Amino acid sequence: MPPPSDRLRQWMKDRVGAETDPMRKARILEAYLRSTFEYELGAPQLNRTNVLESFLFEERRGHCERFASALALLLRHQGIPARVMAGFVPGQRNFFSGWHDIRFSDAHAWTEAHFESTGWVTLDGTPRALHPPPGLEWQDLFEALDFAWYAHVVNLDAGTQNELLTHAIAAGAEAFALVSSKVPHLIAALGLWGLAAWLWKKRRGSASKPIARSTQERRAEAARHFYEEMLRALEKQGHTKPPGTTPAEFVQSLHHYPPEFLPEIQNVTALFCRSRYGGKPLEQEDLEKAKAAIHRLATTPS
């Protein structure tokens, strides 16, 4: 990671002051972002020549990915290992079903920082949204009904479907035997027979089709595989990548490694970063070179 500019260095000094405790530094920066910046979806593009400073000094608003990334970079500038995490944050329980409803709007990104005394600690510099989404009560009702339908009808396992089918056949036979005096039974039997036929059809046609992956997706997965293989080979030789260390920082720490093999490590790392973080297309030739590099590294004495 490039060193901070004089402007950014002064900004961090103004925020953190003379504080030396890493945990308190992290909490100060986290609180500052949460209290003085603004959460906004669809925020304008940042200046790509200096994304962090564009966010801190010009825009001062954005979505959770911006806040998580900015806090991680600020912590790294303070010498604190940090990483960005993404997932879902469950909100309140559904009023009707009692379950947690995980929506697309619950997708979130946050920061984790590593401290010697505690290990990884979760930090969240994202401010709260000013206005909660309206109509949550009706949404709770519809989602509770949707869950009940899928839980009790669509997603029945094979055993439950077979049991229901058996009961439906038995009920149908009984209903037809009593058709002359028990007309409601006939109606019920017809309904059960229809449900059984529908379940059987769904079961027969429920085999999922494999989703074809693009060539680039397969190559990106191969690049990640080769990078992990390289890390395992280096770990066997006593060179373990510490938690929170970026790929580039790890390469820089290998200055004692045999110099004739350092280009191999740099090439595999660059290939992984280009695919994983840059989204750049990979050529098959790149993967062949990475595979050969892994083979040479695996047979290299430490």
DSSP 226-237: HHHHHHHHHHHT
279: left (phi over 0), alpha (psi -120 to 50) or beta: left
The C-alpha atoms of residue 179 and residue 300 are separated, in whole angstroms, by 84
Mean per-residue pLDDT for 159-171? Answer: 62
Q: What is the pLDDT of residues 27-69, one digit of tens each?
A: 999 999 999 999 887 767 887 778 899 999 998 988 889 999 9
End-to-end Cα spacing for the chain: 27
For 89, list phi and psi in degrees, rounded to 5. -110, 110
Mean per-residue pLDDT for 7-20? Answer: 93
CATH number 3.40.50.720 is the correct assignment for the domain at 6-123: no
Enter the tokens of residue 94. Answer: 């559904």
Q: Directed axis angle between helix 215-236 and helix 284-298, to 10°?
A: 10
The C-alpha atoms of residue 24 and residue 65 are separated, in whole angstroms, by 23
pLDDT confidence of residue 138: 46
Q: What is the pLDDT of residues 109-154, one digit of tens each?
A: 999 999 999 999 999 999 986 444 544 554 555 555 555 544 545 4
pLDDT above 70 for 179: no
pLDDT above 50 for 209: no
pLDDT confidence of residue 37: 94
The C-alpha atoms of residue 286 and residue 298 are separated, in whole angstroms, by 18
pLDDT confidence of residue 100: 58
Percent of the chain exceeding pLDDT 70 equals: 64
pLDDT above 60 for 173: yes
Q: Quote the Cα angle for 262-265-267, to 5°.
A: 110
The C-alpha atoms of residue 273 and residue 1 are separated, in whole angstroms, by 13
Q: What is the pLDDT of residues 220-269, one digit of tens each?
A: 788 888 888 899 889 888 889 988 788 888 998 988 888 888 888 999 99
Q: Give 210's pLDDT tier (boundaries 50, 70, 90).
A: very low
pLDDT above 90 for 284: no
Per-domain boundaries in the chain: 6-123, 136-204, 215-298
pLDDT above 90 for 106: no
pLDDT above 70 for 88: yes
